[in-house]
Structure 1
Amino acid sequence: MLSPARRHRMRVQAETESQRDANPMRHATGYEQMLVKLNEDKRRLKKVYGKEKKADIKRQMLPEYVPWVKGVMNSGRGAQDAIVMTVMIWRLDTGDVTGALEIARYALKHGLVSPDGFRRDSLPYLLAEEVASAAMRAWTAKEAVNIDPLLETLRLTDGEDMPDEVRAKLHKIIGYVYRDSGGTHEAMKHLQRALQLHDRCGVVKDIERLATVMKKQAQNSR
């Protein structure tokens, strides 16, 4: 036979469970509640096919995550956080490289890894590839590309393990941006490094043309 104390504990547990079933998020932590929101937003995004449309929706969603990300980064505890890491990726997807790097510095400092669902679990690998790709898309669309985030990405990922092709992609776009702004010597250095890392990265003709320009510049400066 159950004691009165045991019966009381069982009744309290039953009442607690019934309340939880009626309002499952009532006792959830702040992180759990944010994960529920994130998963709902991801389900919404899965229904959209176009990348530009997805990026537009992410831009609308991102402000809702700003307070959480700021709170996590200000606390400085460095625990793995799927919300923060997903926001970093979404910022890259929407062209906010500077905002993504702000999170990346924190993530790399504390050894955070890429969120679930990304084939590249190495954060430096993911960061270098995504930043380079975002910059290349903007450059191809003839948009202005700020070189500072590219150089910051190169610095943050220096010495980290990743495929040579990915690092070559980063050097390639840096070379293009330097070249377009008249920095021929810096451009040559990065394009040559890209070629050294990946001989099929598509910069051979660029290097040849740049060498011709530099030769003319040297002759005119005499």
Structure 2
Amino acid sequence: MASPARLHKQREEARIASERAAERQETLQGSEHELALAQLAQHKRQLQGIQSLEARQAKKAELMQEWHGYIDGVLAADTGIPDPIISQMLPWLFDVGDIDRALTVGDYLLRHDLPAPEQFTRDLPSLYTEMAAESALNCPGSLNAEQLAEVLDATTGHDMVDEIRAKLYRALGEALHDEGNLEDAVTHLRRAVELNPKVGCKPLLAQLEKELTAQMPQAQENNAHT
């Protein structure tokens, strides 16, 4: 794990390099950035050499500790300079379950219209939407309804295939259900099924619709006595 002093140095180098490139309206360059790119390439090679998915994820979580300073520096500068390193951090952060940082990086990349990592054929909005949704669906509770709603709001104006957006509506609907918001959960689950009938939430939707219908007479009765 990188020391606090090293992370601080890394943060300041990344911030200064990003700000300098923005001031000069040029691409990122310099020895510090070249070293960071070389480190990223080395980390990719290390991960590619591990066949076990479980072991690879454990190694990725270990390696990600060395990138916190860089990520924080780029986010602090907030220049939007294209940088393959910060783009690569998005899927890696989701992979290791560092959700808060993943969402912050995703928002940064989206706001500045930056590209997805080069190994992905999807554009950044689609990648961000799908990774947030799949993280929530594969690990319930990892993202709350508020976080998923923010991803939905941020990506609503971007074009993407319906199947990806349906996953996000499903994830948000399930999160709302878990938090006890039955009516909004039904609304979002219905939208998910509209976008993709095979999204996988029809049984839950049918169950919640029955519960909602059962609650309506009770609510009407309560209103009548008020």
* Bin for the TM-score computed over the shorter chain: 0.7 to 0.9
Instruction: Give the structure 2 partner of residue 33 of structure 1.
Output: 35
Instruction: Give the structure 2 partner of residue 58 of structure 1.
Output: 60
**Is residue 164 of structure 2 the alignment partner of residue 166 of structure 1?**
yes
Question: What pairs up with 1:90-169 in 2 under 5 angstroms?
Answer: 90-120=92-122, 122-139=123-140, 145-169=143-167
Query: Does the Cα contact within 8 Å between 1:174 and 1:187 map onto a contact in 2?
Result: yes
TM-fit CA distance, 1:34: 0.5
TM-fit CA distance, 1:202: 2.4
Instruction: Give the structure 2 partner of residue 22 of structure 1.
Output: none
Q: Which runs of 5+ in 2 are unaligned?
A: 1-28, 222-226
Query: Does the Cα contact within 8 Å between 1:98 and 1:149 map onto a contact in 2?
Result: no
Higher RCO (CA-CA < 8 Å; seq separation 6+): 2
TM value normalised by structure 1: 0.81
**Is residue 83 of structure 2 the alignment partner of residue 81 of structure 1?**
yes
Whole-Å separation in 2 of the counterparts to 1:75 and 1:207: 44
Shift of the 93–218 alpha-carbon distance from structure 1 to 2, 3 Å rule, reads same
TM-fit CA distance, 1:144: 5.7
Q: Which runs of 5+ in 1 are unaligned?
A: 1-26
Whole-Å separation in 2 of the counterparts to 1:53 and 1:156: 34
Query: Does the Cα contact within 8 Å between 2:135 and 2:143 map onto a contact in 1?
Result: no
User: Which protein shows a greater Rg?
Assistant: 1
Moved more, 207-216 or 160-169: 207-216
Whole-Å separation in 1 of the counterparts to 2:142 and 2:129: 19
Q: Cα RMSD between the aligned structures?
A: 1.7
Whole-Å separation in 2 of the counterparts to 1:105 and 1:53: 29
TM-fit CA distance, 1:47: 1.5
Query: Does the Cα contact within 8 Å between 2:99 and 2:143 map onto a contact in 1?
Result: no
Sequence identity (%): 31
Query: Does the Cα contact within 8 Å between 2:99 and 2:142 map onto a contact in 1?
Result: no
